[in-house]
Amino acid sequence: MIKLSQTWDDALKALCYIADKGDLVQIREIVESQGMSETCLRRIIPDLHKAGILIAKQWRGGGVMLASDASQISLYDIFLAVGEEIGITDCTKDIYCEKKSDCYTTDVLWNLQRGINSLLKMQTLDKIIKK
């Protein structure tokens, strides 16, 4: 089972809200509209900023905004930014396995992983927020 973390879910909700607004948004507004913890959001913002997804304005009247167009930010980018594991199994996370050369499922699992990665890269914020 693939299970997504609350961190990733909060990051996605916040980024979709920011993309939908299309401008500088205050953290308090995101927290209130999306029903998330301000502490959690403030922990995520530096990772999204470091990944080049968000611009954070610290001065009076500050907030956060997307660093690029919503069409340029994929779910894959968000996964990587918040440190979410994308690998569906140990072998698709490049963890050493002594049975890899004799394994019946390695190729199938890698094909699944490539498919998942491709879908995550194709799904961008602009596609998610279109109503």
The lowest-confidence range among 33-37, 38-42, 97-101, 114-118 is 97-101
Give the burial string for 39-75 (b: 16+ CB within 10 Å, else e): ebbeebbebbeebebbebeeeeeebbbbeeebeebbb
Q: How confident is the model at residue 123 (pLDDT cuts 50, 70, 90)?
A: very high
Place of tokens 């961190």: 7
Q: Are 63 and 54 in contact (CB under 8 A)?
A: no
* Residue 99: other Cβ atoms inside 10 A: 9
* Length of the chain in terms of residues written: 131
Q: Rounded to whole angstroms, what are the CA distances from 41 to 25, 31, 124?
A: 13, 8, 20
Fold of 6-86+125-129: Arc Repressor Mutant, subunit A (1.10.10)
pLDDT tens digits along 82-105: 988 887 777 776 666 777 677 888
pLDDT for the residue numbered 85: 80
pLDDT of 131 > 70? The answer is: no
Residue 52's pLDDT band (cuts 50, 70, 90): very high
pLDDT beyond 70 at 32: yes
Position 40 confidence tier, pLDDT thresholds 50, 70, 90: very high
pLDDT above 70: residue 7: yes
Where are the chain's structural domains?
Answer: 6-86+125-129
- Please report the pLDDT score of residue 121 as a whole number: 95
Output the pLDDT for position 59.
Answer: 73
